[in-house]
Amino acid sequence: MTTTIIWTIAILTVLGGLLAVILFLVAKRFKVEEDPRIDEVEKVMPGANCGGCGFAGCRAFAQSCVEAGNLDSNFCPVGGNDTMKKVAEVLGLEVKEKAPMTAVVRCNGSCENRPVINDYDGLKSCRVKAALYSGDTGCPFGCLGCGDCVAACQFGALSMDTGTGLPVVDQDKCTACGACVKACPKAVIELRNKGPRNMRVFVSCVNKDKGAVARKACKAACIGCGKCAKVCTHEAITVENNVAYIDFTKCKLCKKCVAECPTGAIHAVNFPVIKPKPAPTAAPAATPAPAPVAEPVKKEE
């Protein structure tokens, strides 16, 4: 009995030792030589592995940064400038600051503005719906409302507003990784400058139909009238294919276009309230609203 126990212990100990030696040798023999800085860079990365930078994951990004020797073409949208500064520190490189971005839903086709004219009865997926037809409203360009963007967001920054049927971006959570932009088959979502104190002005419509057609399909559609472009003193607005676009690098947030737009398709969000208004819906000053797109400043016509 005792001998059995002793033998067991002895054999297992020897076996364990032997295997440890083998493992040690194998690890030594097959060690992959990597630049140790890759590990260091990876440590300062957010670790979301979202792919927003265009690489397969944070490690691939780190590897690219180390190999490229400069940070001109690499940017981590999730970590933003802070992370890039840390990366630059680790590698002893220069980094240019980039303005923080956020996802913006450029569709104002809520159930109220854009009546549903047929019923969709397939898989609840924007891609399937887009491949089938123009959508259940008269607007063939706008949001399809099946929430592919919500499913694509890894950060929980998108949600569907059941009232409007449109996705809402939580800009505190949004990292501008661009997954929703890729997921949207209608290219409704755009990454835009976050703006000073989150204030920004954008055209909340991508309808390329002619004015009358667009207006018929959606009350809040951009009709391509060009009034905003005329009133803009910074040449930030272009009208192409019957739809206006505001270049956020040129926009000075003067909001003249917002006042000019006949359909209220141009949204200004997170601006402090200047005049007291009867409507209590205006966004509070300076603090970022949780649902900026859902609260357009429409009353300013």
121/129 Cα distance (integer angstroms): 9
Contact letters for another protein, residues 197-236 (x by CB under 8 A): ------------x---------------------------
Closest to another protein by CB, 79 vs 138, is: 138
Closest to another protein by CB, 168 vs 214, is: 214
Closest to another protein by CB, 150 vs 254, is: 150
Task: Check residue 148 for interaction with another protein (CB under 8 A).
Answer: no
Out of 52, 80, 135, 145, the only residue in the binding site for another protein (CB under 8 A) is 135
Out of 49, 64, 74, 125, the only residue in the binding site for another protein (CB under 8 A) is 125
Task: Check residue 128 for interaction with another protein (CB under 8 A).
Answer: yes
* Least distance in angstroms from the C-beta of 78 to another protein: 21
Task: Check residue 136 for interaction with another protein (CB under 8 A).
Answer: yes
* Least distance in angstroms from the C-beta of 210 to another protein: 8
Angle between helices 36-44 and 58-68 (to 10 degrees): 130
108/222 Cα distance (integer angstroms): 9
243/238 Cα distance (integer angstroms): 8
Q: Determine which helix (DSSP H) or strand (DSSP E) holds 160, and give its type and residue range.
A: strand 158-161
Task: Check residue 118 for interaction with another protein (CB under 8 A).
Answer: yes
Out of 8, 21, 68, 133, the only residue in the binding site for another protein (CB under 8 A) is 133
Closest to another protein by CB, 67 vs 121, is: 121
- Cβ neighbours, 10 Å, residue 251: 21
Sign of the C-alpha dihedral, residues 47, 50, 51, 53? negative
Question: Which residue(s) pair with 189 in the sheet?
Answer: 105
**All residues at 6 or more sequence positions from 8 whose CB lies less than 8 Å from its CB, including other chains:** none
Task: Check residue 119 for interaction with another protein (CB under 8 A).
Answer: yes
Chain mean position to CA 254:
25
Q: Is residue 97 exposed (0-12), middle (13-18) or buried (19+ Cβ within 10 Å)? A: exposed
* Least distance in angstroms from the C-beta of 152 to another protein: 11
Pick the stretch among 23-31, 45-53, 110-118, 193-201 that binds another protein (CB under 8 A).
110-118
Task: Check residue 20 for interaction with another protein (CB under 8 A).
Answer: no
- Cβ neighbours, 10 Å, residue 153: 24
Q: Determine which helix (DSSP H) or strand (DSSP E) holds 194, and give its type and residue range.
A: none
* Least distance in angstroms from the C-beta of 207 to another protein: 11
Please report, as ranges, the residues that interact with another protein according to CB under 8 A. Answer: 116-123, 125, 127-128, 131-136, 138, 140, 209
